[in-house]
Structure 1
Amino acid sequence: MNAATASTTADARALRFVALLATYLQSANLPLPNAALRLIQGSVSMTDDQAGWIFTAYLAASAVTTPVAQWLAGRFGLKRVYQTALLAFALGLWLATLAETPLAFIAARILQGLAAGVLAPLSMGIALETLPAERRPAFGPKWTALVLLGIASGPSLGGWICEHFDWRPMFYLSLPLVAYIFLAVTLLLAEKKAEQRPSFDFFGYGAFTLGMIGLQMLLDRGERLDWFDSPEIWTEALACALGFYLFAVHVLTAKAHFFNKALFADRNFLLSTAIFFAFGFVLLSTMALTSPMLDEILGYPPDTTGLLTVPRGIGLVGAFLLATRAPAWVDACWLIAAGIALVAYANWLMLGYSPLMDWTPVAVNGFIQGVGLGILMPALSKVAFSTLEPKLRPEATGLFNLIRVYGSTLGVAMVQIFFFNNTQAVHSALVSQLTPYRTTLPTSLPALEGLNHLATHQAAFIAVMGQFKILLVAMLVVSPLVLFLRKPVSAN
């Protein structure tokens, strides 16, 4: 090997490393604040019903930019767009550390999400370009495993940092890594543009995005604004309806559009995508429920709260890597059924949580759910793409992953809505029984405050159990779809 070849190979490895590092950073920063919600809420005066925005703001923003990332790279240049996304991501991290109000913190998370939505697909593209053609097909599962590793390890890293320092260093520590990635990309990545100006269905993209943003805002803001008693909620509902109406008409009438109609004609892809939506619904919603339960209700410190997500992460990543290596004779439809069954079983076990339990049920049930999700993801991908025409697979990949992201963001929003509704309802039911005719009520103000705190504590825990039931129902609803899947055929 001559010096030039060695240098080129070393540069390719360095580029692949920083692309993978960027992939990990953008996925780990999504759940990073999960174990430190109580401290973040206290620092920025964020109410409980706003806590879910920490996740949904990042997710929804990333879903907006992910579909257009490749077009931006082709139009303005891969290197320029990637560097801009890195700078925006770093700015979002820095602004999060400066936030003193809920609005400022959520705005920083939105900026992080917008940048992450560009970084994720472009990082994969950069990494693939550094590999020989024969090694590229095997790279996809490794990249997905890294994304899952970031999601799984983010809360434990954030919890440890928060316990020993503060919540702001969680974001500070990512800044040097982003600077390193930016420097490596500046020195090693050659600028690349499309030879011809790329086309993109901005009308279809805009209509679909308007519908999803309207729906997300409706769910996130509805509880706080008393739903349709607020003009804002009516505006968001109308935006949602208009967006989806325009998108449906566009799909039915236009020859070329954001989502190819041929994708919806493939039964395996359509059914697998529906199940993958439920996968996303459960993936992050469980995390959004478990950590606050441990931190705020059961009183675990942030580092312990974060550590209790590790068994779930081990099960998720480990089962994913094993499932991708399943022998060809293993029917992926059976793996999907097994994955759904394990996730549903774990969610059913979570209904048995008690305020008197120790950490063991959380670790065990999380591990079981992680194994089920890890089996489900590669099996669904195999079935979804096995019957598609090869020319449709790139577009199908984008839609498939986008549906998972929207499943996650809508799932977090839904469980937050029902959590606060149920907490209020159960609290009212409990307090209504505290009358002088049923029990001896304390008369001092501190004692009454303590009694109210106890009732709120019990109501919140009961409400969390109700949200685990929603996750169980979500998996049970999609489980019959497995019966209609066709056995995968060999990929062309």
Structure 2
Amino acid sequence: MRLSAEPQSILRIGPRLWLVLLMVQLSNMLFGMTITIANVVLPEIRGTMSASQDEISWAITLNLVATAVATPLTAWVAGRIGKRALMVGTLTGFSVCSLFCGLSSSLDSLILYRIGQGIFGAPIMPLGQAIVLAMFPRHLQPTAIVLWGVGAVFGPVLGPIIGAYMADVYSWRAAFFVIVPAGLLATVCAWFALANDQDKRTVQFDWIGFLALSVSIIAAQLILDRGEKLGWLDSMEITLLAFLGVIAFWVFVTHCLTAERPFLDPRLLLDRNFALGTIIAFVMGTLTFTSLVLFPTLLHDLRGYPDRAIGIILASRGVGNWAAFLFVIPMARLIPRISLGLGLLLQAAAGYAIAQFDINMNDFDVAWTNFLLGFGQSIAFTPMTILAFTTLSKDKLTEGSAVFTLMRNFGSSLFISIAVMVTLRSTSGNYAAMTEFASAFASQTLTPLPSPWSTSTQTGLASLSDEIKRQASMIGYINAFYLMAWTAAAAAPLAFFMRNPTR
């Protein structure tokens, strides 16, 4: 699909390439928005649907799981019907599911349409990335990937801002409705930008490997989502899911190693850059959305922030993204490994700083740490993509992009579930430990408390219990952010084992 004339500067590209960039930026932004737009309105949805924190988190995690499972189909479907038909179809279905999310009347229907968003949205990023890499000459690819990444980076940031504003002015349903017109605009851009696409070919697809991997991913996600509530292996459901997941993963691995044309070509992982890049993409997925899921409920439930204020504060992450774009292009060209490692370390530092918060954190604390998270994410994102694909052959780009995006989305869904589990488990454990010392029978061992928390009255004990639960919840959030920080720090050294791209 690459044009015959190769422009020497990104500013000299033709109208069609500019339309391609607009299309991939807009579609990436919309996809990223839908993942996070629900985060900031989760408290309002939770109240409307009468759902618990772990139940409402399914609207996030199952969306990401659906995306992860459907992503590997991208190369096969694109080969069968062409990139143009796939991009137009996926953007149309994505917009329709967004409309029905806003019309949902129950948690079950909301989750169903969120899964639909994930399935239809799955090809957007890998297909857009493959189109950019195929159509732009190699010397313009770093700049083109940065521009492609604008949407991927800003979508998750704009989601909470727009979602909070629409929920505050109208209702949480409007946060989903606002996606529809932009989705239709992206569909029109795709129709014209890819008008000359004739790249159709018969692609063999390994359904056994795909289904085995899908079952193992879904089983792992359900175990993490429901394990804490059901008592882990004390539950027959969790035991069966664990058994099914292990068997499915064993089938997937053995089939990939023995099949003539497996679902995941093991030779992809023989490319050192791609193998390490895929691991780092998994970690980057864990870092991208976890804080955006945790912060809205933290600020709303523990600090009483309204939705609009939460969106405005979290906008500092977008400012960090913008600031990073001043440096990321020359850094990705000259020192890509250092840029990637630095970006991961900055995110680790931000996570560690957040873990030092207490219940009295202020707006500036939240703002500057989110700024640092956004800055580190943007500094790492472009060199991660360039390094991972620089040594991969052109005929493997679409397949590699699908695997790359699958791992990033699976990392997001998996780590969100782990973070919520750590938060809930730490909250319940610390609440139980602290309430042992706060009762009418233990009043002699306590330092005198203010009268609203008097242990000699039922009202005082209830108020004290509420405050202990707030403090225990804060400890839970702190532990989740510690986990995020150490995960980022552990991945940073991998950047220096990758090969620099050839110039």
What TM-score do the two structures reach when normalised by structure 1? 0.88
SS at 1:30's partner residue? helix
The equivalent of 1:6 in structure 2 is none
AA matched with 2:58: W
> 1:90 pairs with 95, 98, 122, which one?
95
Q: Does 1:467 align with 2:480?
A: yes
CA distance in 2 between partners of 1:344 and 1:184 (Å): 38
> 1:385 pairs with 382, 389, 396, which one?
389
CA distance in 1 between partners of 2:193 and 2:94 (Å): 20
Displacement of 1:26 after TM fit?
1.6
Distance 1:294 1:67, change over 3 A: same
Q: Is the 8 A contact 1:77 1:191 kept in 2?
A: no
CA distance in 1 between partners of 2:164 and 2:306 (Å): 8
The equivalent of 1:204 in structure 2 is 209
CA distance in 2 between partners of 1:352 and 1:392 (Å): 44
Q: Does 1:409 align with 2:413?
A: yes
Deviations 1:84-120 (A, max 9, x none): 4334323322322232332221112111111111333
Displacement of 1:235 after TM fit?
2.6
Q: Does 1:363 align with 2:377?
A: no
AA matched with 1:469: Y
Distance 1:186 1:478, change over 3 A: closer
Q: Is the 8 A contact 1:284 1:412 kept in 2?
A: yes
Give the stretch that moved more between structures: 274-283 or 356-365: 274-283
> 1:335 pairs with 339, 358, 362, which one?
339
Displacement of 1:404 after TM fit?
1.4
Q: Is the 8 A contact 2:286 2:411 kept in 1?
A: yes
The equivalent of 1:490 in structure 2 is 502
CA distance in 1 between partners of 2:289 and 2:372 (Å): 15
Give the stretch that moved more between structures: 208-217 or 256-265: 256-265
Q: Does 1:348 align with 2:352?
A: yes
Q: Is the 8 A contact 1:20 1:127 kept in 2?
A: no
Question: How many pairs are equivalent?
Answer: 480
Distance 1:121 1:339, change over 3 A: closer
The Cα RMSD (Å) is: 2.8
Displacement of 1:232 after TM fit?
2.3
The equivalent of 1:4 in structure 2 is none
In the TM superposition, 1:175-254 aligns within 5 A as: 175-182=180-187, 190=195, 195-254=200-259
Distance 1:464 1:86, change over 3 A: same
Distance 1:312 1:247, change over 3 A: same
The equivalent of 2:41 in structure 1 is 36
> 1:425 pairs with 429, 439, 459, which one?
429
CA distance in 1 between partners of 2:71 and 2:230 (Å): 30
Displacement of 1:397 after TM fit?
3.0
Q: Does 1:108 align with 2:142?
A: no
Unaligned runs of 5+ in 2: 1-13, 444-453
Q: Is the 8 A contact 2:61 2:416 kept in 1?
A: yes
The equivalent of 2:462 in structure 1 is 449
Deviations 1:148-180 (A, max 9, x none): 111121111111111222111111122233344
AA matched with 2:378: G
AA matched with 1:353: F
Distance 1:476 1:11, change over 3 A: closer
Identity of aligned residues (%): 26
Q: Is the 8 A contact 1:285 1:411 kept in 2?
A: yes
Give the stretch that moved more between structures: 186-195 or 359-368: 186-195
Q: Does 1:265 align with 2:270?
A: yes
CA distance in 2 between partners of 1:202 and 1:412 (Å): 28
CA distance in 2 between partners of 1:220 and 1:23 (Å): 27
Deviations 1:259-291 (A, max 9, x none): 222222233332333233222112211211122
In the TM superposition, 1:290-301 aligns within 5 A as: 290-301=295-306
Give the stretch that moved more between structures: 235-244 or 154-163: 235-244
Displacement of 1:337 after TM fit?
2.9
The equivalent of 1:477 in structure 2 is 490
Displacement of 1:229 after TM fit?
2.8
CA distance in 2 between partners of 1:20 and 1:416 (Å): 31
CA distance in 1 between partners of 2:274 and 2:123 (Å): 25
AA matched with 1:400: F
Q: Is the 8 A contact 1:320 1:377 kept in 2?
A: no
AA matched with 1:422: S
AA matched with 1:441: T
CA distance in 1 between partners of 2:432 and 2:223 (Å): 26
Q: Is the 8 A contact 2:130 2:397 kept in 1?
A: no
Distance 1:84 1:235, change over 3 A: farther
The equivalent of 1:306 in structure 2 is 311
Displacement of 1:460 after TM fit?
0.7
SS at 2:105's partner residue? coil
